[in-house]
Amino acid sequence: MAVITLICKQCGGQISLDDSKRFGFCSHCGTKILLQDEINNITYSTQQNITKIIHGREKTEAEEFIRNGDIFLTLGETEKAAGAYKKAVEANPGDWRVWFSLVRFYTKNFTDLGDTAHLEHLAKARAVAAGEQKTELEKLYAPYAVSVKQFEQYRAASKKGAKFDGTVLLEYKGGDAEFDVPYFVTDIRENAFENCVTLKSVKIPDGVTKIGGRAFCGCASLENIEVASGNSVYRSEGNCIIRRGDNVLTAGCKTSVIPDGVTSVGEFAFGGCAGLKSIAIPRGVTSIGKFAFENCAGLTNITIPAGVTSVGGGCLKTV
């Protein structure tokens, strides 16, 4: 008689059984164990190196292929990685993870932002995943999806004439009538849109927390300014950009109507807005910054209330 040590598949506990008996019971959870089946499993696992006992849980053939593929991918051995991942698919095509392993492969472990070959495998992973598996899948894919979106917007905006430094929009010198600032931008630099005379409409995402002075100076055709409603620093109203913290109007355009609640018209707010013809400043405004209406060549009518006690130099300067 010999004693065989096994791992219970049900609870992961270590058990010892007499090899002279046909079956036994796990002393931890009571699961019935057929001894010959376990011996066959151990032999098959040893010879084929397909299944292993890891942390008390049986590692499936597909999982082992995925693990090997991940190692090869990390080492840069792409052909071996591809072979391992394809074997994983053959072993268990109903497991979403085998398809997701091919997603990792084709995206070069989520570093190739321009890849599209992975999409068919992503679709298959989503098709077989269920319940919490879907949640886990999307959680794993989400960071890459965000990076791809940023890359696509960066590439599209760059083609239109935008220049970036990370999340900073340095300048836009394109000729399009409309421009949507990419969602990843957090900072629009000073003079970024200066003298974009063809620009008519601009949209600013909710992530922008800083807009530099003279950002839209000289945009003579600009007539529509929209800030995303979720932006915590700026808002748009009446085709004006208004800083939420102090209600300072930081930028306007030729169609601007300054809303009630604005406390100040900021420096260069309407600078170079040649299409602006008339503007009424509401009663709540107490100051107008320097060069606020500089080079507004078409401005013929401006109403300034008695409550304005400070007017910056060059406010109405024209060249």
Higher pLDDT, 97 or 32: 97
Q: Is the pLDDT of residue 37 over 90?
A: no
Ramachandran area for residue 73 (φ above 0: left; ψ -120 to 50: alpha; else beta): alpha
Residues 146 and 165 in one domain: no
Strands (E), 19-174: 23-25, 32-34, 52-54, 57-59, 162-165, 168-172
Residues 191 and 310 in one domain: yes
Residues 82 and 186 in one domain: no
Residues 180 and 316 in one domain: yes
Task: Please give the pLDDT value at position 166.
Answer: 87
Instruction: For residue 10, give its domain range.
Output: 3-58
Q: Is the pLDDT of residue 44 over 50?
A: no
> What is the per-residue pLDDT across 229-249, written as a single tens digit (0 to 9) for each?
999 999 999 999 999 999 999
Q: Is the pLDDT of residue 19 over 90?
A: no
Answer yes or no: are the C-beta atoms of 292 and 270 closer than 8 Å.
yes
Residues 142 and 85 in one domain: yes
| Token code pair at residue 137 | 């899948």
Residues 170 and 142 in one domain: no
Structurally, the chain folds into a number of domains equal to 3
Residues 194 and 308 in one domain: yes
Question: What CATH number does residue 79 fall under?
Answer: 1.25.40
Q: Which of 58, 77, 94 is the last residue of a domain?
A: 58
The percent helix, strand, coil of the chain (3-state, each to 5) is: 30, 20, 50
| CA pair distance 236, 241, nearest whole angstrom | 5
Task: Please give the pLDDT value at position 42.
Answer: 37
| CA pair distance 35, 46, nearest whole angstrom | 17
Q: Is the pLDDT of residue 75 over 90?
A: no
Q: How confident is the model at residue 60 (pLDDT cuts 50, 70, 90)?
A: confident
Residues 319 and 172 in one domain: yes
Q: How confident is the model at residue 315 (pLDDT cuts 50, 70, 90)?
A: confident
Question: What CATH number does residue 172 fall under?
Answer: 3.80.10.10
Residues 54 and 65 in one domain: no
Q: Which of 120, 138, 155 is the last residue of a domain?
A: 155
Higher pLDDT, 12 or 147: 147
Residues 67 and 181 in one domain: no
Which segment of 45-59, 90-104, 136-150, 238-252 scores lowest on mean pLDDT? 45-59
CA distances from 21 to 9, 125, 230 (A): 19, 44, 70
pTM: 0.66
Q: Which residues pair with 237 in a beta bridge?
A: 240
Ramachandran area for residue 33 (φ above 0: left; ψ -120 to 50: alpha; else beta): beta
Residues 52 and 99 in one domain: no
Q: Is the pLDDT of residue 195 over 50?
A: yes
Q: Which of 121, 155, 189 is the last residue of a domain?
A: 155
Task: Please give the pLDDT value at position 119.
Answer: 96
Task: Please give the pLDDT value at position 277.
Answer: 94
Mean pLDDT, residues 149-177? 91
Of the chain, the percentage scoring pLDDT greater than 70 comes to: 81
Q: Is the pLDDT of residue 272 over 70?
A: yes
Q: Is the pLDDT of residue 52 over 50?
A: no
Residues 178 and 319 in one domain: yes
| CA pair distance 312, 291, nearest whole angstrom | 7
User: Cα–chain-centroid distance for residue 21?
Assistant: 60
> What is the per-residue pLDDT across 82-108, written as a single tens digit (0 to 9) for each?
999 999 999 999 999 999 999 999 999
Q: Is the pLDDT of residue 57 over 50?
A: no
